[in-house]
Amino acid sequence: MQTDQREADDARKADAPPAKTALSARGLTKVYGTGELAVWALRGVDLDLREGELVVLLGASGSGKSTLLNIVGGLDRPTEGSVHFDGAEITRFNDARLTRYRRDHVGFVFQFYNLVPSLTAEENVALVTEIAPNPMKPSEALGLIGLGDRQTHFPAQLSGGEQQRVAIARAIAKRPRILLCDEPTGALDSQTGVVVLEAIERINRELGTTTALITHNAGISAMADRVIRLADGAIQDVSINGHKIAASELSW
């Protein structure tokens, strides 16, 4: 049944018109230090994220993928280049406008969960919903990622995979246009990692959230609409998955 649904989704996407661009970056360069000590994290990267797609940014440690994600998410600024979102160049924003961009439009999921130990799962998600302009209820967000029965549990009472899913619920509870995931399975075993990827896949499918997931694990790339490979601060290759594999079928 799941395979039939996947094939139907693939067929609809093949017949659909090209998706609009949700975010575009041009000529992104990031240099740390100067002179002989300069480290080039990015070297003139161009990137488009299309509305509703799931993109995997694949590369080894030091390839520049985290730096790229931090810049498009408004957590860092490039040395050169521009990022455009919703008709505005966010790389020209002052700190206050960048904060609003992150708060209103971008959800972040990191390798480490960054949950507040003294707060329940529901309260951790509510930290975001209390400041977002159009949030969903924390219970709704937790239900979407399969933790509706764990709302009153504290992080210490949750497994690593459950904590990561709470972090995903927190990221998507504000209904972001873009979800950026930085090695979300990096601290998990493969079985638990698949459960986390299923949650990300469901958010992308059911909410239509543009999703970019960075990883060094090539096995994860099979669940993406597009795979972008980075090395030495530059994009080496872009490929399209004509037939995606469901996260539940991944193994590594």
Report the pLDDT value the prediction gives residue 36, as an integer from 0 to 100. 84
Element (H, E) at 101: helix 95-105
Q: What is the pLDDT of residues 222-245, one digit of tens each?
A: 999 999 999 999 999 999 998 899
> What's the Cα-to-Cα distance from 228 to each of 92, 133, 199, 219, 237, rounded to whole Å?
26, 32, 21, 14, 6
Residue pLDDT, tens place only, 18-72: 679 999 999 999 999 988 889 999 999 999 999 999 999 999 999 999 999 999 9
| Average pLDDT of span 170-175 | 96
**C-alpha span between 158 and 166 (Å, rounded):** 9
SS3 call for 153: coil
Fold classification of 2-249 (topology level): Rossmann fold (3.40.50)
Positive or negative, the CA dihedral 154, 159, 163, 165 is negative
Please write the tens of the pLDDT for every residue from 68-105. Answer: 999 999 999 999 999 999 999 999 999 999 999 999 99
Residue 1's pLDDT is 46
Each residue's pLDDT tens digit, 32-41: 998 888 999 9
Give the DSSP letter of residue 92: G
